[in-house]
Chain A
Amino acid sequence: MCGIVGLHLRDPELHPCLGRLLTSMLAGVAERGPDSAGVAVYGDRRRCPEGYAAVSLLDAPPDLPVPGALVTEAGDTTVVAAPLPVEELLAAVTGARVVGAGTEVTIYKGTGRPLDLARTYDLADARGWQGLAHTRMATESQVTAEGCHPFSVGPDQCLVHNGSFANHASIRRELVAAGVAFDSENDSEVGARFVAARLAAGEDLDKALRALCERFDGFYTLLVTSADGFAVVRDAIACKPAVIAETPRWVAMASEFRALAELPGIDDARIWEPEPERVYAWQW
């Protein structure tokens, strides 16, 4: 019901090509999610300069009171970067709907055809060391920019999900009882909040995703990224498609192989289908 692609570039020589590679990957999963698409780009210094923090906002009010800010509009999304710590920038934009924040990541969400959106986000031009994209066919929530993945609920964290959780209402209740606030009714947000809580408690991606496997029922292929990690996990039945490819220059995952077919050196890559309930995590 959705398409996922993700790319982590180990080789700095490839960093200028991130956007071009990601756009071709996105094209490979566009039909899987024709409603809407979201993108995350890590380490693009034109979008979030060194020493800056960036927040991605939906329906941002026209004049945000952030002095010295770099404001870019991309469809429904407005990215505000400023030479402030993340918390201060977040405090400065209270009232706006924040869909991502960090010192590395900029996030774009919107409804419409994925490749049109890629142009809106100027994706082809993006540089950086990591990126991911998600194309969505909504299940039990509305087609809105807010419902788009990635769900980014912790600093520089992203979660994209293909599938549907079967016990998310119960886990949401537990998290709410523990003081966690939610932005949407989306089941994937529950996954993102669960992982964020674990990471905030000091766990690494591997451990957090193992805990997720224990606790979450239903179907999922998840790609979870952070400022220092890239991880993939699937449910016990591994019902939703996924393929991972790895070379010394990059690690990539996608819902379908064709999204990986144009990556440089794909012919020599190690390519495999991730096993059920096994966490594949790269952390550095």
Chain B
Amino acid sequence: MTLRESATFDRPTIAAIQRAAETGVYDIRGWGAKRSVPHFDDLLFLGASLSRYPLEGYRERCGTDVVLGGRHATAPLHLDIPVTIAGMSFGSLSAQAKEALGRGASEMGTSTTTGDGGMTPEERGQSRTLVYQYLPSRYGMNRDHLHAADAIEVVLGQGAKPGGGGMLLGQKIGDRVAAMRTLPAGIDQRSACRHPDWTGPDDLAIKILELREITDWRPPVYVKIGATRAYYDVKLAVAAGADVVVVDGMQGGTAATQEVFIEHVGIPILAALPQAVQALRELGVHRTVQLVVSGGIRTGADVAKAMAMGADAVAIGTAALIALGDNAPRYAADYAALGSAAGFYDFQDGRDPAGITTQDPELAARLDPVEGGRRVANYLRVLTQEAQTLARACGKAHLRNLEPEDLVALTVEAAAMARVPLAGTTWIPGT
């Protein structure tokens, strides 16, 4: 007799029910959605041929720079590449990891971002351009750090958990993390899911003005949202005064969140991006208020496709950690000892053998920030070169000149979400 697995009650589902029944607690994990969702892989570029001309790879310029925040800020950010490092807290990451991200980003002329836990001297010191997050938890928030920031990112939500707050399990709350957050060490911590300083866009506008006054209108103010009602949220963020809007798709990474949240709330970045662009266009501020998108960016193709759909830049979280050495096969035995495996480790547990998502001093010491920085820079370089390869193939002398008309979709779903035609047709579902 052949065994037949149920599609509805597949093995992970059965295991989850068993785990719930045994422990009585819901599952908390890091990483992002593990289910398959329509993504940039479902899009293809129309390269140049006879009606258009491609550019030559090594000889002909294909610019990659981007300016973020010129709408109101007097000191907008000038980045050499449109790939930035997303906010990941000190706490979820080791100080070494934060420093390494800063080193890698700086080498490539791009920005890195603090996170839900404040600014460390290591990352400030090694980051040429540092975006400082202002979050519902307000952990580590202080005036000096606002002044030390090159930009301020007001975080309303995250793609992995729109409507939810941060989580950090007790094993990651060492003395230093606890002191920065003014919380007891070793105890699970849940950040606020909504900001105490505002209840809606009207108060947010006041908050943003306050931040501008404190910083003398110098650094740009970003607003980061988790992708849900992206069309309205982007419009409201602009109305509240944002210089830059960051939209994080549902597949975006997180340090730790309820599994049910990660898999069931929010919309994929492919669906959110056209909504965001539409909102900006309708307000007449597309390209004036820059759009940064994140959630599942892995390759230069993802970068190029996001930009073709209208993003000005992208942010990476999970991929940057992998570049640093996270989930590396050389730690296979250690991952196995944790009941995980290289390629499956989810960040939340705090005993990261690669020394990245941990506060354990011995484990953290495994990560050399200089070597880690070199790896991050290498990875950013490859992402950029891959994006340039595609842009040149489409005849663009700058990444920002990619456009939705350069794209087609492989599936009806992706065509409808991305609002580009199904390959080989002129059909955009819904139009």
> Which of B284, B397, B403 is in CB contact (< 8 Å) with A170?
B403
CB pair B396–A167 under 8 Å, yes or no, is yes
**Once bound together, how far apart are the Cα atoms of A217 and B394, in whole Å?**
11
Q: How many residues of A contact B (CB 8 A)?
A: 15
The answer to the question of A142 belonging to the interface, with a C-beta cut-off of 8 Å to chain B, is: no
The answer to the question of B198 belonging to the interface, with a C-beta cut-off of 8 Å to chain A, is: no
CB pair A166–B52 under 8 Å, yes or no, is yes
> Which of A164, A170, A237 is in CB contact (< 8 Å) with B52?
A164
CB pair B398–A217 under 8 Å, yes or no, is yes
The answer to the question of A177 belonging to the interface, with a C-beta cut-off of 8 Å to chain B, is: yes
**Once bound together, how far apart are the Cα atoms of A169 and B396, in whole Å?**
13
CB pair A169–B53 under 8 Å, yes or no, is no
Interface residues in A144-177 by Cβ distance below 8 A to B read: 164, 166-167, 169-170, 173, 177
**Once bound together, how far apart are the Cα atoms of A236 and B53, in whole Å?**
13
Report A138 CB to chain B, min CB distance, Å: 9
**Once bound together, how far apart are the Cα atoms of A170 and B403, in whole Å?**
6
Give chain A residues whose Cβ lies under 8 Å from the Cβ of B284. 177
The answer to the question of B61 belonging to the interface, with a C-beta cut-off of 8 Å to chain A, is: yes
Q: Among A139, A164, A166, A218, which residue has the most Cβ atoms of chain B within 10 A?
A: A166
The answer to the question of B64 belonging to the interface, with a C-beta cut-off of 8 Å to chain A, is: no
Of chain B, the residue at the smallest CB distance from A215 is B401
The answer to the question of A239 belonging to the interface, with a C-beta cut-off of 8 Å to chain B, is: yes
Interface size grouping (class) on chain B: 20 to 34
CB pair A218–B395 under 8 Å, yes or no, is yes
Give chain A residues whose Cβ lies under 8 Å from the Cβ of B8. none
The answer to the question of B330 belonging to the interface, with a C-beta cut-off of 8 Å to chain A, is: no
Give chain B residues whose Cβ lies under 8 Å from the Cβ of A218. 52-53, 395
The answer to the question of B405 belonging to the interface, with a C-beta cut-off of 8 Å to chain A, is: yes
> Which of B51, B60, B401, B404 is in CB contact (< 8 Å) with A237?
B60
Report B52 CB to chain A, min CB distance, Å: 5
The answer to the question of B281 belonging to the interface, with a C-beta cut-off of 8 Å to chain A, is: yes
Q: Provide the B17-60 mask, 1 if CB < 8 A to any CB of A, else 0.
A: 00000000000000000000000000000001011110100001
> Which of A140, A177, A237 is in CB contact (< 8 Å) with B281?
A177
> Which of A140, A167, A170, A219 is in CB contact (< 8 Å) with B53?
A219
**Once bound together, how far apart are the Cα atoms of A219 and B48, in whole Å?**
12
CB pair A170–B401 under 8 Å, yes or no, is yes
> Which of B48, B55, B60, B403 is in CB contact (< 8 Å) with A167?
B403
**Once bound together, how far apart are the Cα atoms of A104 and B281, in whole Å?**
38
CB pair A164–B51 under 8 Å, yes or no, is yes
**Once bound together, how far apart are the Cα atoms of A164 and B54, in whole Å?**
11
Of chain A, the residue at the smallest CB distance from B54 is A166
Give chain A residues whose Cβ lies under 8 Å from the Cβ of B402. 167
Give chain B residues whose Cβ lies under 8 Å from the Cβ of A140. 51-52
CB pair A166–B394 under 8 Å, yes or no, is yes
**Once bound together, how far apart are the Cα atoms of A177 and B404, in whole Å?**
17
Give chain B residues whose Cβ lies under 8 Å from the Cβ of A177. 281, 284
Report A234 CB to chain B, min CB distance, Å: 13
Further 6 A-B residue pairs, CB within 8 A, beyond A177-B284, A218-B53: A140-B51, A140-B52, A166-B48, A166-B394, A167-B402, A237-B60
Please list 12 pairs of residues, one from A and one from B, whose beta carbons are closer than 8 Å in the complex, sorted by A's number: A139-B50, A139-B51, A139-B52, A164-B51, A166-B52, A166-B396, A166-B397, A166-B401, A167-B402, A167-B403, A217-B397, A218-B52
Residues of A near any B CB (own CB < 8 A): 139-140, 164, 166-167, 169-170, 173, 177, 217-219, 236-237, 239
Residues of B near any A CB (own CB < 8 A): 48, 50-53, 55, 60-61, 281, 284, 394-398, 401-405
